[in-house]
Amino acid sequence: MPASSDTPSSRRERPAKPALTRAGLVAAAVAVMETEGLHKVTMRRIAQELDTGPASLYVYVRNAAELHAAVLDELLGRVEPPSEDGTWRERLEKVLTSYAHLLLDRPALARSALVARPSGPHYLDLIEILLALLAEGGVPDGQAAWGVDVLLQHATATAAEHAGRTPGARDREDWHTLETALRDADPGTRPRTAALSGPLLAGPPDARLSWAIQALINGILHTPTP
Amino acid sequence: MPASSDTPSSRRERPAKPALTRAGLVAAAVAVMETEGLHKVTMRRIAQELDTGPASLYVYVRNAAELHAAVLDELLGRVEPPSEDGTWRERLEKVLTSYAHLLLDRPALARSALVARPSGPHYLDLIEILLALLAEGGVPDGQAAWGVDVLLQHATATAAEHAGRTPGARDREDWHTLETALRDADPGTRPRTAALSGPLLAGPPDARLSWAIQALINGILHTPTP
DNA sequence: ACCTGAACACCGTTCAAGT
DNA sequence: ACCTGAACACCGTTCAAGT
Mean pLDDT on B116-141:
94
Mutate to test the interface with A, among B93, B127, B152, B186 (most CBs of A within 10 A): B127
Report the distance from CA of residue A65 to the C1' of nucleotide D9 in Å, as an integer: 22
Chain A CA closest to residue B142: A199
CATH 1.10.357.10 in chain A, residue ranges: 82-164+196-222
**pLDDT at position A88, please?**
97
d(CA B102, CA B83) in angstroms, rounded, equals 17
Q: Answer yes or no: are the C-beta atoms of B27 and B6 closer than 8 Å.
A: no
CA distance B103 to B111: 9
B-chain residues within 8 Å CB-CB of A114? 111, 114-115, 157, 160
Chain D: positions less than 7 Å from a protein CB are: 2-7, 10-16
CA of B42 to C1' of C9 (A): 14
- Helix residue ranges, H only, chain A: 22-36, 43-49, 64-76, 88-104, 107-115, 121-136, 141-163, 172-183, 191-201, 205-222
CB A79 within 8 A of CB A126: yes
Contact of A190 with chain B, judged by CB distance below 8 Å, is answered with yes
Q: Which fold has domain B18-75?
A: Arc Repressor Mutant, subunit A (1.10.10)
Q: Which nucleotide is nearest to B62 (CA to C1')?
A: C13
- pLDDT score of A14: 43
Q: Is B171 exposed, middle or buried (0-12, 13-18, 19+ CB in 10 A)?
A: middle
Q: Which nucleotide is nearest to A54 (CA to C1')?
A: C4
**Rounded-to-integer distance, Cα B216 and Cα B79, Å:** 20
pLDDT of residue B8: 35
pLDDT at A172: 57
Cα–Cα distance between B202 and B180 in angstroms, integer?
A: 13
Of A178, A199, A223, the CB nearest to B117: A178
Q: In this predicted structure, what is the pLDDT of residue A169?
A: 45
Mean pLDDT of chain B: 87
CA distance B197 to chain A (A): 8
pLDDT given for residue B177 in this prediction: 83
Q: What is the DSSP letter of B11?
A: G
Contact between residue A220 and residue B211 where contact means Cβ atoms under 8 Å apart: no
Residues within a 7 A CB radius of strand C: A 19-20, 52-56, 58-60; B 40, 42-45, 54-55, 58, 63-65
Q: Helix/strand/coil (H, E, C) string of A157-205? A: HHHHHHHCCCCCCCCHHHHHHHHHHHHCCCCCCCHHHHHHHHHHHCCCH
Residue B167 pLDDT level (bands cut at 50, 70, 90): very low
Q: Are A110 and A104 in contact (CB under 8 A)?
A: yes
Instruction: Report the C-alpha gap between B32 and B165 in whole angstroms.
Output: 22
Write out residues 109-168 of A within 8 Å (CB-CB) of B.
111, 114-119, 124-125, 127-128, 131-132, 135, 141-150, 153-154, 156-158, 160-161, 164
Yes or no: say if A11 and A52 are a contact pair by the CB < 8 Å rule. no
Closest Cα partner for A206 from A148, A168, A178, A165?
Answer: A165
Q: Which helix (H) or strand (E) holds B201?
A: helix B191-201
Predicted structure pTM score:
0.88
The torsion angles phi and psi of B51, rounded to 5 degrees, stand at 65, 40
The reported pLDDT for the residue numbered A171 is: 52
CATH of domain A82-164+196-222: 1.10.357.10
Mutating which of A115, A134, A166 best tests the B interface, going by the most B Cβ atoms within 10 A? A115
Alpha helix segments (H runs only) across B79-190:
88-104, 107-115, 121-136, 141-163, 172-183
| Weakest mean pLDDT among A43-47, B13-17, B84-88 | B13-17
**pLDDT < 50 positions in chain A:** 1-14, 165-170
B54 touches strand D (CB under 7 A): yes
Distance (Å, whole) CA B132 – CA B146? 14
pLDDT in tens, A132-173: 999 999 999 999 999 999 999 999 999 887 765 443 444 556
Q: Alpha carbon of A57 to those of A54, A174, B177: distances in Å? A: 6, 36, 21
Q: For residue A168, what pLDDT is reported?
A: 42
Q: What is the mean pLDDT of residues B58-70?
A: 93
For B133, name the nearest residue in chain A, comparing CA atoms only.
A192
d(Cα A42, Cα A33) in Å, to the nearest integer?
10
Residues of chain B with CATH 1.10.10.60: 18-75
Asked whether the beta carbons of A106 and A38 are under 8 A apart, the reply is yes
- Report the distance separating Cα B209 and Cα B215, nearest Å: 10
CB within 8 Å of chain B, chain A residues 19-78 = 65
The nt closest to A65 (CA vs C1′) is D12
Length of chain A: 226
Which chain A residue has the Cα nearest residue B178?
Answer: A119
